[in-house]
Amino acid sequence: MREYLKFYIGGQWTDPAELRTLDIVNPATEEVAGKVAVGSAADVDRAVAAARGAFAGWSASSKQDRIDLLQNILEAYQKRSADLAAALTEEMGAPASLAGGFQVQLGVGQLSTAIEVLKEFAFEERRGASLVVKEPIGVCGLITPWNWPMNLIAVKVFPALATGCTMVLKPSERSPFTGQIFAEILDAAGVPAGVFNLVQGDGPGVGVPLASHPDVDMVSFTGSTRAGVEVAKNAAPGVKRVAQELGGKSPNIILDDDAFAENVGKGVASMMGNSGQTCSAPSRMLVPRARMEEAVEAARKAASEVTVGDPNGDVVIGPVVAKDQFERVQGLIQKGIDEGARLVAGGTGRPDGLEKGYYVKPTVFADVTNDMTIAREEIFGPVATILGYDDLDDAIEIANDTEYGLAGFVAGADLEQARAVARRIRAGSVAINDGFDFLAPFGGYKKSGNGREWGEFGFHDYLEIKGVLGYAPDEAAS
């Protein structure tokens, strides 16, 4: 049984202003796995004050100082990889292979990328007679979700450190164990007191006072669009910068070629990963209407190969994160049936043999139309939807007919055709044939958010731009 009852503030593990705790339920067993302290506005005040006090010193640190610190963090992170993986499996049900693999290694990749970007990043640039300076924005409030904890903490904390900002992190109350271990890692790596602070808690108790705090200069939030709107409202009176990565309902256009069946299978498998709990998941698969039956067979086969069960065993997916998430996914699967989509695989209820735990059947719907609820709303479970298109113009129109614009996918053997389709998808990130790159920007159009993370692009929201005019007047005159 884990017990985390202190926050990391000002370089010390400190008691909360008032001890209140939250039980954390293991979604695979439905049993309590531990408890964490739940913070309040008073704890946020202390953490922000510590960050504000540390800002003058850290913002003036050299690039080499920051590189050295990030290298220390990398070493400390790698030493705790097994601890992070175990916590991920326990708090959110990620299978051991995923938790110790991609989940934890995404943090390594983001950190290594931040180090390499920082080495070459230009904080000053001459433009004619002027000097353009990029300076750290100040104290940052970082609010992260539960579904990819290490990646989503990493894409905020490491760019903030690299650019000279100080920060307060609020991890999701559904994945607090990894947040606590992450703070232990930064402490072991020697992060200066007050530069990084951790307060656990929920949205109303910690998220709202953090987003609205007058001494917070910037808020970076990842989560649902609904919650993102509230964060922006809370931040607005302070005219602080708000960067958001929100929901998605991403199209996956399968081109009409000889690799069609294989690409359908890959698309379904990708959708099921992490129990479908990925904001950029390829949840709307678009296939040529004339090949719908071929797509159905390929999708059914792919879904049948997705094993579900105890995340400590050899399975592809474990449970979804919590009871309310399970019930939401079940309700949307039933909605798909009620609205007339063809159920190809899965359906409501738990998989056979799993009577306890928030397990969802790998589910596929075909003959989906873009006005159905399951094609409009983010399900956040292992549920794939297949829609038909007449030609590529029709496919692109359907793909873009959504309030979201986080990601898109194109799969096909003809690279030039795939590139042309990718250019027309209105989304912040479009992957051709499963392309992946830590240096590429990630973020959304429309109600999927604003700002960008990953690589160099992840630095920009943490920087103010100053123009120093007349810096070199003699050069301008010549």
> What distance in Å separates the CA atoms of residue 470 and residue 326, rounded to the nearest whole number?
61
The two counts, helices (H) then strands (E), for the chain are: 16, 23
DSSP-derived letter for residue 459 is: G
Q: What percent of the chain is helix, strand and coil (3-state, nearest 5)?
A: 45, 20, 35
Q: How far apart are the two ends of the chain, measured CA to CA in Å?
A: 72
Q: Give the active site residue among 245, 378, 453, 456.
A: 245
> What distance in Å separates the CA atoms of residue 101 and residue 107, rounded to the nearest whole number?
10
Whether 165 is catalytic: no
- The alpha carbon torsion through 232, 233, 237, 242 (nearest 10 deg) reads 0
At 304, list the tokens: 């049948």
**Burial group, residue 200, by CB count within 10 angstroms (0-12, 13-18, 19+):** buried
At 164, list the tokens: 């000279």
Contact criterion met (CB below 8 Å) for 180 and 477: no
Dihedral over Cα of 331, 333, 334, 339: its sign: positive
Task: State the pairing for strand pair 429-432/407-411.
Answer: parallel
> What distance in Å separates the CA atoms of residue 324 and residue 319, rounded to the nearest whole number?
12
Whether 30 is catalytic: no
Contacts of 147 (CB under 8 A, 6+ apart): 92, 274, 277, 278, 279, 321, 380
> What distance in Å separates the CA atoms of residue 271 and residue 274, rounded to the nearest whole number?
8
CA angle, 302 as apex, 296 and 306 as ends, to 5°?
140
> What distance in Å separates the CA atoms of residue 409 and residue 355, rounded to the nearest whole number?
35
Q: Give the active site residue among 90, 173, 279, 456.
A: 279
Contact criterion met (CB below 8 Å) for 48 and 139: yes
- The set of catalytic residues is 245, 279
